[in-house]
Structure 1
Amino acid sequence: MRILLVKMSSMGDIFHTFPAISDIKQHYPDAEIDWVVEDSFSEIVDWHPGVRKVIPIHLRRWVKARNKKNWQEFKDWRKALRSTAYDYIIDVQGLLKSAIVAKCAKGNGVDGYAKTSAREPITHWFYKHHHIVDKDQHAVERTRQLVGKTLGYIPTPKLNFGINQNFVQVVKNPRKLIFIIGTSWVTKLWATREWQALTTIALNAGFSVEIIWGSAEEQAIADQIIEFCPQATRPEQRLSITTIAEKLVEAAGVIGLDTGFSHLAGALETPTIALYGATSPVKVGLIGEHTQNLQLVDTLECMPCHKRHCKWLPENSTDTPACMSGIKAEAVWQALQQKLSAQIFSTPSHNDSTQN
């Protein structure tokens, strides 16, 4: 059985798809699974042993610069894709762009979400087979159910992200914490003073703290934290995704924001706390007993706004919005301690599907 999955981005969405891959291999061990993904995420997809072939696509670049050269690249890519015939082609992303890409493949039509289940209802016109999946579920479960309905099985309750075996050589450090301070939106950032307070608490409790950064702005925040807490450290250079994954596996626990690396920590089964304010964790937050999505206890009326800029702050402000600044370091530390304690008294197992 040859299966093609189409989910091109983002990083968090890639990790959300891994349990569905594990499900397929559990029910059909001989299935050959190929995956179309944006080139920048090819490295991640290749971590799952159930994926036979990663098919990189440069859709973002092609769309951004619609010239003759990129059009020819796309046609060559489509020709190469159609050199393989698939028994099942599944658009697990459910967007217009992914539906169009799925239609480029050779096979017996495309499977996807029904009109009432899709994120972009127009996509159902591109599918030969439509499947009703509850839109109110977490993205991980929606993907698992879509694939299960396509291939004729019911997913088991337990989750298996299936990527830990790539990092068995990494030795766990029970006294090391990783802080992921960066994210794509200003409204998702946590106040630097709270990071400083949290780092102080962690260091005083006997933990070491390493701060992961990925841009000049994030490096500057990391330096402010380290200036306040000189015992904390950060990498000198920007790290590869694989190197960051190794650090997340090594760590006893992780504190992060609404970003792909927090999802990676959760997928690697490291106790992880992710902070949410402007965005909602209900459908796309971290999942599993070893994770917690932390928000203000007394939510604001404007939460979640899903906006890149807070309407209560001046235009172009880089200040932390109230939905994030209201989360205090002490509460984050208590949440992490609960997860670390639970990890100590639990035996190693796959994640289950309970969202915290």
Structure 2
Amino acid sequence: MKILLIKMSSMGDIFHTFPAITDLKEKYPEVVIDWVVEEGFAEIAAWHPAIRRVIPIDLRRWMKQKNWSSWSAFRQWRKALKSEHYDCVIDAQGLLKSALVTRFASADTLHGYDKKSARESISSRFYSHTHAVSKEQHAVERTRQLFASIFSYTPPPALNFGINQNFARVQKDSRKLVFIIGTSWTTKLWSTAHWQTLAKIAVEQGYNLEIIWGSESERIIADQIMAVCPTANRPQQRLSITTIAEKLVEAAGVIGLDTGFSHLAGALETPTIALYGPTSPIKVGLIGAHTCNLQMENPLDCIPCHKRSCRLLPEHSSETPPCMTGILAVQVWNNLQQKLPDASGTDPSPRLS
């Protein structure tokens, strides 16, 4: 059976799809799976060994530019997609745009979430078969349940992202920690002062730190952390996703924000603490016993607001919102210690008070 999977973005959503693919391949080893994904995430989708072919789509650029060049590129992409026939197309995204993409494929059946289950209910009108999956579940489990409903099986209890074998050559460094300091929303950022305090604690406990950055503003924050912790380091240039993944596998532990790379660390089974303020980790947070979705100990009434600006701060403020400043470095460190056993199975560093 040949299957076309539609899950185009975002980075975290790509990782959330891996366990469902693993389940399906274990149940039906003969299936062939191709995956339509945004061009920027094609590198990631190809990591899963069950994926035969990644089909990049540049939908964001085409929709933004809306010129003849984009229209021509889209027509060529659509023609190439239709050149292969599939037994089944699965829209695991549940949006209008992803549902439209299912119609561009040549296939016997089109599957997706039903009206009450889809993120955008109108998407359900585009499928030949719809499936009821509770919205109250974590995104990982929703996708697993969608696949299980389509192919009539029960997902196994164990969660398997299925990508660790890509990085088997990377050796673990039990004294290395990675900080992921960047994210797409200003309101999701942790204060530089908190990062500096956490860095000092880690260095005092004998850890080596590497700070991952992806923009000029993040590079400046990394340098400010290094100014108080000279033994910490950062890459000189922006890294590829694969190179970052290797660093996350190598690390004993990772501290990050609500961002795709924190989800990647969790998918790679590295002990990971992800800090949450304006967004909720309940349905889209990190998953697995080796992870922790951390919020301030006494949450504000406005959490989660899911806003890119904080009503408690002046308009257009770039300050860290109270829901993030309320997460203390000592709190982060102590939670990390619970996930970070040493080779003997005991905590490598004392908890702080």
Contact 2:279 2:306 in 1 (8 A): yes
In structure 2, how many angstroms separate the alpha carbons of the residues matched to 1:78 and 1:153?
32
In structure 2, how many angstroms separate the alpha carbons of the residues matched to 1:239 and 1:261?
12
Contact 2:277 2:323 in 1 (8 A): yes
**2:54 aligned with 1:54, yes or no?**
yes
- Structure 2 counterpart of 1:92: 92
How many residue pairs match? The answer is 346
In structure 2, how many angstroms separate the alpha carbons of the residues matched to 1:310 and 1:96?
29
- Structure 2 counterpart of 1:72: 72
**2:264 aligned with 1:268, yes or no?**
no
In structure 2, how many angstroms separate the alpha carbons of the residues matched to 1:145 and 1:182?
32
Contact 2:190 2:325 in 1 (8 A): yes
In structure 2, how many angstroms separate the alpha carbons of the residues matched to 1:21 and 1:305?
32
Letter in 1 for 2:290: H
Q: Compared with structure 1, are the counterparts of its residues 344 and 282 closer, same or farther at alpha carbon in structure 2 (3 Å cutoff)?
A: farther
Contact 1:257 1:275 in 2 (8 A): yes
Equivalent positions of 1:92-241 (< 5 A) are 92-241=92-241
Letter in 1 for 2:158: K
In structure 2, how many angstroms separate the alpha carbons of the residues matched to 1:146 and 1:163?
21
Deviation at 1:109, TM superposition (A): 2.9
- Structure 2 counterpart of 1:38: 38
Contact 1:290 1:343 in 2 (8 A): no
| Matched residue SS, 1:285 | coil
Letter in 1 for 2:22: S
In structure 1, how many angstroms separate the alpha carbons of the residues matched to 2:322 and 2:73?
46
Equivalent positions of 1:311-330 (< 5 A) are 311-330=311-330
| Matched residue SS, 1:174 | strand
> CA-to-partner distance for each residue in 1:210-241, whole Å, 9 max, x for gaps?
10000000001001110111111111111010
Q: Compared with structure 1, are the counterparts of its residues 20 and 344 closer, same or farther at alpha carbon in structure 2 (3 Å cutoff)?
A: farther
In structure 1, how many angstroms separate the alpha carbons of the residues matched to 2:145 and 2:276?
26
Structure 2 stretches of 5 or more lacking a match?
347-353
Q: Compared with structure 1, are the counterparts of its residues 224 and 243 closer, same or farther at alpha carbon in structure 2 (3 Å cutoff)?
A: same
- Structure 2 counterpart of 1:242: 242
| Matched residue SS, 2:157 | coil
Deviation at 1:82, TM superposition (A): 0.9
> CA-to-partner distance for each residue in 1:306-333, whole Å, 9 max, x for gaps?
0111111112211100000000000000
Deviation at 1:342, TM superposition (A): 8.4
Letter in 2 for 1:182: G
In structure 2, how many angstroms separate the alpha carbons of the residues matched to 1:194 and 1:341?
24
Contact 1:117 1:135 in 2 (8 A): yes
In structure 2, how many angstroms separate the alpha carbons of the residues matched to 1:343 and 1:15?
28
Task: Among all aligned residue pairs of Structure 1 and Structure 2, give the percentage whose two residues are the same amino acid.
Answer: 65
Letter in 2 for 1:213: W
**2:86 aligned with 1:83, yes or no?**
no
Deviation at 1:343, TM superposition (A): 8.3
Deviation at 1:344, TM superposition (A): 5.9
Equivalent positions of 1:5-44 (< 5 A) are 5-44=5-44
In structure 2, how many angstroms separate the alpha carbons of the residues matched to 1:102 and 1:311?
40
The runs of at least 4 aligned residues of structure 1 exceeding 6 Å deviation read none
In structure 2, how many angstroms separate the alpha carbons of the residues matched to 1:78 and 1:344?
55
> CA-to-partner distance for each residue in 1:115-167, whole Å, 9 max, x for gaps?
01111001111111010001000000000100111111111111110000000
In structure 1, how many angstroms separate the alpha carbons of the residues matched to 2:328 and 2:221?
17
Contact 1:278 1:305 in 2 (8 A): yes
Structure 1 stretches of 5 or more lacking a match?
347-356
Q: So what's the TM-score if we normalise by structure 2?
A: 0.96
In structure 1, how many angstroms separate the alpha carbons of the residues matched to 2:23 and 2:86?
19
Letter in 2 for 1:62: W
